[in-house]
Amino acid sequence: MKIAGAYTLPVPRERAWATLQDPVVLARCMPGCDALELIGPGEYHMKMKLTLASLSGLFDGKVRIADQEPLDRFRLTVEGSGKIGFMRGEGLLTLAGSGASTEVAFDGDVQVGGTIAAIGQRLLDTTSRMLIKRFFEKLISIERNDG
Amino acid sequence: MATTVSKPETLVGKRIRRQEDPRLITGTAVYVDDLKLPGMHHAAFVRSPHAAARIRSINTRAALALPGVAAVFTGADVAHLGPVPTGASLPDLRVPHHHLLAQDRVYFCGHPVAAVVATDRYIAADAADLVEVDYEPLPAVADPEKAIAPGAPAVHPQWPDNVAFTFHQEGGDTAQAFRDAEVIVKQRITSQRLIPMAMETRGVVAEWRAGEKSITLHTSTQIPHLVRSLVAGILGMPENHLRVITPEVGGGFGSKLNVYAEEALMAWIASRINHPVKWIESRRENFLVTIHGRGHADYFELAARRDGTILGMKLKLIQDLGAYHQLLTPAIPTLSVLMMPGLYHFANITADIIGAFTNCFPTDAYRGAGRPEATHGIERMVDILAAELHMDPADIRFKNFVPNDRFPYATATGLQYDSGNYRAPLIAALGLVDYPNLRAEQQRAREEGRLMGIGLSTYGEICAMGPSAAMPAGGWESATVKIEPSGKVTVLTGASPHGQGEETTFAQIVADELGVKMDDVMVIHGDTDIVQYGIGTFGSRGTAIGGTALYYALQDLKAKIKKFGAMLLDTDDVTFSGGSCTDERTGKSVSVAEMAGAAYRAVKLPPNTEPGLVATRFWEPPNFTFPFGAHIVVTEVDRDTGTIAIRRYVCVDDIGNIINPLIVDGQIHGGVAQGLGQALWEHAVYDDTGQLITGEFTDYAIPRAPMMPWIESSHTVTPSPVNPLGVKGVGEAGTIGCSPAVVNSVVDALAPLGVRHIDMPLTPEKIWKLIQQKGRA
């Protein structure tokens, strides 16, 4: 499933870039994320609780940041599996803007499998959008409170 | 025409309530899941979430460490067993080795990777979640037409073209027919993947007796004896050390006409852990890993004269097989080819099947098995031809029906239709709907801008499967009748039923033949240690073949009874009727119970006669039977929502003689419900990566009671000459007749918008979009 959109962070590019690469902040913002620990260059181990329709379950997986072009763009991969199946999301995040705010656009693909696909496919689109929305809203609120 | 057993004062032909029903509706029937054996363990499966992947490693340590877990088995443990069998044989058929558990690769979503056994079901399920499988996902293909296109991912690496088989059939001279044609119509028609959805999911309880080295396998199946032979083969054990018991079966529809990996696995596991083991399929597993049905993309071409005379037909049939062959997977589309001509008299056909592997669960026999697909095709094509020629769909059918004086009729596909009067049900159905007035009403509706449709389907069916030469594992059926010393009658039938009501219909036949009360008859089935070998119940064969075996066994017994009657009455000449033998000269008579007593006490025996009253017959049918009928569906489509309202559903089915009209009604109603399911709602959808995205009832819409129309069911009766009962079969007729009538009706409703064909299911969304699109054009 293709997914794309954009959010505006109320901080300059340098700050936005740094925040999006910070595992502590990412862990706080990713809905259901219990832990995010660095296991290699740009690679983190993740534990995440995901709820989709009548299903909920723990996912164990990885978050990878790659193809970094500082201040401009990077590729984010989130993949995990658990007893309700697996999920894999990959997308390109592009930062734009000069001044006090930064627009973060994303364009990617989400794939799920197993029970989660059999049961939750209908809600995947809206759930993915909702999770992304919650991620950015949390990020924005952290930035506001810190700033 | 055939002789029939129907005579005045008989139970055969009466609407008799089913003997089975009291236990079914009071919760006292015993299903597999009701079995509780001492020390019984429970199994759960670890199943692949990927449609295609390499298995890098499996770690079972955490699962084994969970208290209550007895064992975890993976592919390596069972590599020496199997394979899961296919009974279908076609020239050059590619048969992938179907292991009981995945080895180094998985081929479909739900592919079993490990079996976990624990002391209770919940522990087994929890432990299954603890098995860690490291997969390397591979590209998958889920659509049969994409699978056979160049460059598609190979389902089985050894066969990169994904073609399991091709099959060609030719009758007459199709090329000449198409040269002679004044009009040719072409259409791609799909018959979507469906999920059979029996109310009772699959389930197995296996019990090992170490002392006797024997296994008792309780399984919800349509074919207990075949399961015994084939599971014994999978496990490499002597067939007579395996007992298969089929308790109550909560529906099959073909999905339990199979031998599944789980059945063999449970038998093997019971012997390994030395405890009984139970596995009950969850509903989610049932969606994913019990056979699916249909899955066709068919390209039809019909050649005709301008007066509507059909000259010939071409068909290219692409069958979605799934990743493996289950018991009959590749054979199902060959049934479609056999049924291609429908009820119509034309001699020229060419058919080509391509069986395509996909990373999906296998398709196999589902109610109708190949015939609904073919019937849908021919009945749609006849309507498309009628529209092309501006002919009435009833007229074009009357013009092309096989005439009554042509029976037995040899079809272009090599069948011999046993008997038929194809005009009769259509005339009756047209009369019931008052066809001329209905068309006039439709005209008025159209003038008002309403979308009203009238759809016809005049279908044919292949039932009573079948002559052994045409079947993969024998097509006969067996019956044993025992008149017990008390005069009570016990029937053992090999045609193990799963909802067909044979305990009632067979008792009716026995009661009529022996003159005993139905209550004195006990019909036993589904236990391979009690019942002589049999084939099973599928392909609308239970009564036509199983009932005929019973009929002949009863004739044998009647002959023997008369000998005891003559001996007891001390005469040479007795008549047997109404449950007693009578000496017409003296008027003295003896009852069945008295004769049975004499036969078992055996103090004195008639000349050349053995004690006891038992007869067994194995009856081999000389031909299939061919029911037929006409369904008419009146619909109205809501322009604003795309919703289809069925205003009338009229069906006139000719299924030969009828043993029990009440049971026949039930079969027609259930069959029509499943036909409507395909026509309007059901679709098993895999996404491009091979994920089944219709994996629960919110996404897979089966018909529910409020969605059903009132079904006006009646019959014409053309007895079959193939069997002495004159019966044809009714299990699948409703389904086969239904879907084309519904689709023809909706296409007729939308015809003023320029609609010529719509593929099933006709969901409101699809219809609404079509109306929007055509409205704009």
* Angstrom distance (rounded) from CA B159 to CA B357: 9
Instruction: Report, as ranges of residue numbers, the positions in chain B whose pLDDT lies below 70.
Output: 1-8, 776-777
Contact A21, A69 (CB under 8 A): no
* Angstrom distance (rounded) from CA B572 to CA B592: 18
CA A16: distance to chain centroid?
Answer: 14
User: Are B50 and A86 in contact (CB < 8 Å)?
Assistant: yes
**Radius of gyration of chain B from its Cα atoms, rounded to whole angstroms:** 28
Q: What is the pLDDT of residue B7?
A: 45
Q: What is the pLDDT of residue B3?
A: 43
B76 Rama sector, left if φ>0, alpha if ψ -120 to 50, beta otherwise: alpha
Contact B574, B581 (CB under 8 A): yes
Q: Which residue has the tokens 């950015």?
A: A136
Establish if A118 touches chain B: CB-CB under 8 angstroms. Answer: yes
Q: How confident is the model at residue A123 (pLDDT cuts 50, 70, 90)?
A: confident
Which residues 6+ apart lie within 8 Å of B640 measured at CB? none
* Domains of chain A by residue range: 2-142
Residue of A nearest to B46 (CA): A83
Q: How far is B270 from chain A (nearest CA, A)?
A: 26
User: Are B129 and A117 in contact (CB < 8 Å)?
Assistant: no
Tell me the DSSP string of A17-67.
HHHHT-HHHHHHHSTTEEEEEEEETTEEEEEEEEEETTEEEEEEEEEEEEE
CATH number for A2-142 (one of 3.10.180.10, 3.90.220.20, 3.30.530.20, 3.10.20.30): it is 3.30.530.20
Tell me the DSSP string of B422-451.
THHHHHHHHHHHTHHHHHHHHHHHHHTT-E
What type of residue sits at position A71? Answer: L
Taking the CA atoms of A57, B66, B48 and B760 in sequence, report the sign of the dihedral they define.
negative
CB-nearest partner of A118 from B50, B689, B692: B692
* Angstrom distance (rounded) from CA A94 to CA A92: 6
* Angstrom distance (rounded) from CA B142 to CA B137: 15
What type of residue sits at position B441? Answer: E
CA B614: distance to chain centroid?
Answer: 32
User: Are B695 and A119 in contact (CB < 8 Å)?
Assistant: yes
Q: What is the pLDDT of residue B405?
A: 97
* Angstrom distance (rounded) from CA B560 to CA B615: 9
Closest CA to B81 of B101, B57, B95, B96: B101
Contact B389, B308 (CB under 8 A): yes
User: Are A117 and B696 in contact (CB < 8 Å)?
Assistant: no
Contact B277, B269 (CB under 8 A): yes
* Angstrom distance (rounded) from CA B314 to CA B316: 7
User: What residues of chain B lie within 8 A of the CB of A112, using their CB?
Assistant: 691
User: Are A85 and B284 in contact (CB < 8 Å)?
Assistant: no
Residue A54 has pLDDT above 90, yes or no: no
User: Are A122 and B695 in contact (CB < 8 Å)?
Assistant: no
Q: What is the pLDDT of residue A128?
A: 85
Helix (H) or strand (E) segment spanning residue B62? helix B61-65
Which residues 6+ apart lie within 8 Å of B597 measured at CB? B485, B486, B487
B:96-115 residues touching chain A, CB 8 A cutoff: 109
Q: Which residue has the tokens 């993969």?
A: B472
Q: What is the pLDDT of residue B6?
A: 42
Question: How large is the angle between the packed helices B423-433 and B393-400, nearest 10 degrees?
Answer: 160
Q: How far is A77 from chain B (nearest CA, A)?
A: 16
Torsion of CA B576, B579, B583, B587, to 10 degrees: -140
User: Are B693 and A111 in contact (CB < 8 Å)?
Assistant: no
Q: What is the pLDDT of residue B481?
A: 98
Q: In what side-by-side order are the strands of the sheet with B644-654?
A: B451-460, B628-637, B644-654, B711-715
Q: How far is A101 from chain B (nearest CA, A)?
A: 39
Other Cβ atoms less than 10 A from the Cβ of B179: the count is 11
Three-class DSSP category at B19: coil
* Angstrom distance (rounded) from CA A147 to CA A144: 5
* Angstrom distance (rounded) from CA B585 to CA B571: 10
* Angstrom distance (rounded) from CA A19 to CA A11: 10
Query: What stretches of B485-601 adopt beta strand conformation (E)?
Result: 489-493, 521-524, 575-577, 580-582, 589-591
Residue of B nearest to A121 (CA): B693
Three-class DSSP category at B554: helix
Three-class DSSP category at B105: strand
Q: Which residue has the tokens 């015809």?
A: B751
B474 secondary structure, DSSP code? -
Question: How large is the angle between the packed helices B371-389 and B332-339, nearest 10 degrees?
Answer: 40
Three-class DSSP category at A112: strand
Q: What is the pLDDT of residue A129?
A: 87
User: Are B109 and A86 in contact (CB < 8 Å)?
Assistant: no
A117, β-bridge pairs: none
The verdict on pTM exceeding 0.90 is yes
Helix (H) or strand (E) segment spanning residue B568? helix B548-569
Contact B315, B288 (CB under 8 A): no
Contact B193, B356 (CB under 8 A): no
Structure tokens at B551: 């009929």
B570 phi and psi angles, rounded to 5 deg: 55, 55
Residue A121 has pLDDT above 80, yes or no: no
- Burial of residue A113 (number of CB atoms within 10 Å: 0-12, 13-18, 19+): buried
* Angstrom distance (rounded) from CA A38 to CA A44: 4
Establish if A56 touches chain B: CB-CB under 8 angstroms. Answer: no
Contact B598, B592 (CB under 8 A): no
* Angstrom distance (rounded) from CA B647 to CA B455: 12
Structure tokens at B296: 């066709």
Closest CA to B395 of B419, B430, B420, B428: B430
Tell me the DSSP string of B710-762.
PEEEEE-----SSSTT-B---TTHHHHHHHHHHHHHHHHHHGGGT----PSP-
User: Are A121 and B691 in contact (CB < 8 Å)?
Assistant: yes
B353 secondary structure, DSSP code? E
Three-class DSSP category at B8: coil
N-term to C-term CA, chain A: 36
CB-nearest partner of A117 from B48, B691, B698: B691
Establish if B53 touches chain A: CB-CB under 8 angstroms. Answer: no
Q: How far is CA B529 from CA B212, B246, B762, in A?
A: 14, 11, 48
Q: Which residue has the tokens 């719509």?
A: B758
